[in-house]
């Protein structure tokens, strides 16, 4: 048997760590695929393609004609469409696949969370009275805030929000995690934030805002994950490498 052909759907820190491990092992011929939603993605250790596949059927064709042996879905926990497409594509081909998905954050003593199903519901849940909101959801759905323009919004994203939000009181921060708790506390205090809207992404890179909100007694409107597609799931890079070795035992 030649090298094991792996398509790694990335976009997370776990995907980057797994890409580094795969790049250092001569048994694998791996390709990293990124959606292209970040203008300046971090340099990766594997050959990388940018952009979509054209839905489930396009991905299935790419896997088939690329003669891949394995697909690993290590996309963001909220990248529901690509994960569903991946699940259906590998099922149609009978191809081996698994998901690398970090576990969600769990509320701790002192947390003041309101669980919501979508960003739009989080905006509605802020209420009618003006509030000072840290919108820590990236740029893709930041425009949802326009449904409640009475609030102040502090918007943090890796890339600029374009077009700018049609609200009267908004401030933008361009930054990329990981973030530290003391810095997040200072950010929330400086802007007198009384509500944080975030997706339950899990992981450590952006958890500091959750810990900071807990320390300051600030409400967090937590957007919960949708159910994941039916696919074997591991939670760490180490488990992912062990799964690969189980599927393709070293000779």
CATH number for 48: 3.40.50.720
Residue 167 lies in a domain: yes
Cβ atoms 211, 68 nearer than 8 A? no
Q: What is the pLDDT of residue 248?
A: 94
Cβ atoms 218, 112 nearer than 8 A? yes
Question: Quick one: 97 and 21 in the same domain?
Answer: yes
Question: Quick one: 95 and 169 in the same domain?
Answer: no
Residue 240 lies in a domain: yes
Question: Quick one: 219 and 231 in the same domain?
Answer: no
Question: Quick one: 72 and 136 in the same domain?
Answer: no
What's the burial of 51, exposed, middle or buried (CB within 10 Å: 0-12/13-18/19+)? Answer: exposed
pLDDT digit string (tens) for 4-25? 999 999 988 899 999 999 998 9
Question: Quick one: 125 and 212 in the same domain?
Answer: yes
Residue 43 lies in a domain: yes
Cβ atoms 204, 103 nearer than 8 A? no
pLDDT digit string (tens) for 32-79? 999 866 656 667 789 999 988 999 999 999 999 999 999 999 998 888
Question: Quick one: 14 and 58 in the same domain?
Answer: yes
CA 10 to chain centre: 10
- Alpha helix (H) ranges present in 9-160? 13-23, 55-65, 80-93, 119-125
From residue 201, alpha-carbon distances to 12, 66, 182 in Å are 10, 31, 21
CA dihedral (90, 36, 44, 198) in degrees, to 10, reads -90
Give the separation between CA 152 and CA 147, rounded to whole angstroms: 13
- Alpha helix (H) ranges present in 96-200? 119-125, 181-190
For the chain (251 residues), the mean pLDDT of every run of 10, in chain order, is 91 91 94 77 81 93 97 92 94 96 95 96 98 94 96 94 95 92 97 97 92 98 88 94 94 76
CATH number, domain of 168, equals 3.40.50
Please report how many Cα atoms fall inside a 13 Å half-sphere around the Cα of residue 159, on the Cβ side: 12
Residue 79 lies in a domain: yes
Question: Quick one: 76 and 15 in the same domain?
Answer: yes
Question: Quick one: 38 and 97 in the same domain?
Answer: yes
Residue 108 lies in a domain: no
* Helix pair 13-23, 237-247: axis angle to 10 deg: 50
CA 111 to chain centre: 22
Terminal Cα-to-Cα distance of the chain (whole angstroms): 10
Question: Quick one: 15 and 71 in the same domain?
Answer: yes
Q: What is the pLDDT of residue 37?
A: 65
Question: Quick one: 122 and 137 in the same domain?
Answer: yes
Cβ atoms 195, 132 nearer than 8 A? yes
CA max distance for the chain: 65
Q: Domain residues for 59?
A: 4-102+227-247
Structure-token pair, residue 43: 């340099």
Residue 190 lies in a domain: yes
Residue 148 lies in a domain: yes
Cβ atoms 138, 157 nearer than 8 A? yes
Residue 30 lies in a domain: yes
Question: Quick one: 70 and 141 in the same domain?
Answer: no
The DSSP H or E segment spanning 33 is strand 28-34
Domain count, the chain: 2
Question: Quick one: 235 and 196 in the same domain?
Answer: no
State whether the Cα torsion 188-191-193-198 is positive or negative: negative
Give the separation between CA 87 and CA 122, rounded to whole angstroms: 29
């Amino acid at each position: 048997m030649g090298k094991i052909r792996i398509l790694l759907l990335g976009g997370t820190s776990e995907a980057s760590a797994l890409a580094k491990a795969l790049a250092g092992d001569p048994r694998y011929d791996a390709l990293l695929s990124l959606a292209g939603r970040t203008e300046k993605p971090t340099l990766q250790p594997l050959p990388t393609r940018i952009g979509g596949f054209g839905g489930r059927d396009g991905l299935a064709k790419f896997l088939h004609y690329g003669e891949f042996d394995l697909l690993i879905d290590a996309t963001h926990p909220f990248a529901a469409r690509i994960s569903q497409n991946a699940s259906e594509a590998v099922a149609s081909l009978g191809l081996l696949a698994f998901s690398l998905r970090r576990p969600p954050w769990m509320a701790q003593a002192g947390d003041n969370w309101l669980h919501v199903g979508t960003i739009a519901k989080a905006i509605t849940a802020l209420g009618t009275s003006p509030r000072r909101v840290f919108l820590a959801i990236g740029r893709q759905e930041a425009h949802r805030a326009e449904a409640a323009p009475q609030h102040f919004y502090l918007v943090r994203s890796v890339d600029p929000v374009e077009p700018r939000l049609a609200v009267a009181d908004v401030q933008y921060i361009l930054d990329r995690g990981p973030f530290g708790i003391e810095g997040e506390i200072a950010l929330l205090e400086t802007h007198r934030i009384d509500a944080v809207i975030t997706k339950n992404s899990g992981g450590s890179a952006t958890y500091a805002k959750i810990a900071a909100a807990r320390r300051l007694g600030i409400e967090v409107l937590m957007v919960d994950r949708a159910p994941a597609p039916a696919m074997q799931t591991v939670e760490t890079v180490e488990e992912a490498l062990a799964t690969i070795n189980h599927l393709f035992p070293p000779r």
